[in-house]
Amino acid sequence: MAWAVRAAGHDVLLATAGGGVPVAAATGLPVAKVADDEELLAAHKKVLAAAGQREFDQMVSDAIQADDVHLAIVITAVSCAATVDGTVAVAEQWRPDLLVYDGLQQAAPLVAGKLGIPVVAHGFGLISDQVVAGIVRDTLQDAYQRHGATYPTRCERIDILPQSLQGDGLDGWPVRYMSYHGGGVLPEWVLRRPARPRIAVTMGTTVEDDGKRRWLRGVLAAAGELDAEFVCALGETSTPLPDNAFSVGWVPMNELLAHCDAVVHHGGSGSTLAALAAGIPQLIVPVGPAYSAHAVPVAQRGTAMVRELAEVDQECLRRLLEDTAMRTAAGEVAAEMYAMPAPASIVPELERLVTTGGGRTLG
């Protein structure tokens, strides 16, 4: 979306924090850093201590064990709170005419309300951003009062989910999901079709190394006997791999998946949507409550299987390659996504918001 707006001749500034800052090198767009990792960690400790909560690490562990999506969103809210002051400062200096934000970054509506500018929520995955907004907004009440801001009464939405995955009837401007995985030189083998089926194995960028090692060992425990090639796109790993698996560094996931027969992943929104766009079956082995929430809609649509780590066996991996109904459903969703309007088609609507200050009333 940032590229589409920039190509139309507008100025774009990306405001982000912590691990999001490296996007500057990948996008070629200016980035304003609104908080760093130390600030985020300090905010976690301060907010949780004030609320009389458990230690943050224990809170995360409890959320995963209980499969508690609400608690996972509350944890996200703590991170949003840590970015409020920095985001307000950047916005007051840069003075944007329009603010577009992903549904997890709920500091953005506060900024839009304070500056009195239009705001657009950009869908980020298969969890309702409107549900997230309600929970996070409650957590940010002190920040709203401190900045003298009110929550915007009007907001438009950019919806990247195809109709068959909507489920809860959300509406907005439909926009095709465009996989974004940065630049990179493709290894020659990526474009070459292997002699046997190829399965990608990925775990995104947000899971800690120890968790990745445990997850990878469990996923690949039954892979050695299967006549398939497993490409582990996890960065460097010290985990022993079977003879039919190999580890690669950073490979643009959209290109890798376009040349794979299936994918195994942890349930992150980027991995899930990239697999849907590629039209290949998925085996989702969630690592936490929010990841399970991503997995449910695609499993119900018939494009994926969802398994706990202990349930991944050779039969499960074989079905991933041989289930024709799952492969057909994956192709149908990919075609549905491809038929959605490209991001550039929304730019005139964004321009209209700037000139009219419009937007739909929030429920």
What pLDDT sits at residue 302?
A: 96
Which of residues 166 and 337 earns the better pLDDT score? 337
- List pLDDT tens digits, range 261-280: 999 999 888 899 999 999 99
- 283 plus 347 within the same structural domain: no
Place of tokens 């041989």: 322
Whether 274 maps to a domain, the answer reads yes
Whether 361 maps to a domain, the answer reads no
- List pLDDT tens digits, range 10-21: 999 999 887 777
- 120 plus 171 within the same structural domain: yes
- 42 plus 156 within the same structural domain: yes
Which of residues 94 and 157 earns the better pLDDT score? 94
- 134 plus 99 within the same structural domain: yes
SS3 (DSSP) at 110: helix
The 3 state secondary structure assigned to 326-356 is: HHHHHHHHHHHHHCCCCHHHHHHHHHHHHHH
- 138 plus 259 within the same structural domain: no
Whether 183 maps to a domain, the answer reads no
Whether 362 maps to a domain, the answer reads no
H or E segment and range at residue 284: strand 282-284
Whether 182 maps to a domain, the answer reads no
Which among 137, 133, 122, 130 has a CA at the least distance from the CA of 167? 130
Q: Where residue 363 falls among pLDDT bands split at 50, 70, 90? A: very low
- List pLDDT tens digits, range 62-73: 544 444 555 556
- 333 plus 350 within the same structural domain: no
- 347 plus 333 within the same structural domain: no
Q: Is the pLDDT of residue 56 over 60?
A: no
SS3 (DSSP) at 79: helix
- 131 plus 98 within the same structural domain: yes
Q: Where residue 44 falls among pLDDT bands split at 50, 70, 90? A: low
Domain range holding 308? 188-338
Whether 161 maps to a domain, the answer reads yes
- 226 plus 273 within the same structural domain: yes
- 152 plus 194 within the same structural domain: no
Q: Residue 290: give its domain's CATH number.
A: 3.40.50.2000
Transcribe 144-156 into DSSP letters: HHHHT----SB-E
Give the Å distances, CA to CA, from 169 to 57, 128, 132, 166.
Answer: 35, 10, 16, 6
Which among 273, 203, 207 has a CA at the least distance from the CA of 64? 207
Which among 159, 100, 83 has a CA at the least distance from the CA of 128? 159
- 10 plus 44 within the same structural domain: yes
Among 114-118, 119-123, 237-241, 246-250, which is the least confidently predicted range? 237-241
Which of residues 60 and 250 earns the better pLDDT score? 250
Work out how many domains the chain is built from and give that number: 2
- 295 plus 326 within the same structural domain: yes
Q: Can you tell me the mean pLDDT for 219-227?
A: 87
Which residues, at least 6 apart from 327, have a Cβ–Cβ distance to it below 8 Å? 280, 281
Whether 181 maps to a domain, the answer reads no
- List pLDDT tens digits, range 151-173: 887 788 899 999 898 865 556 89
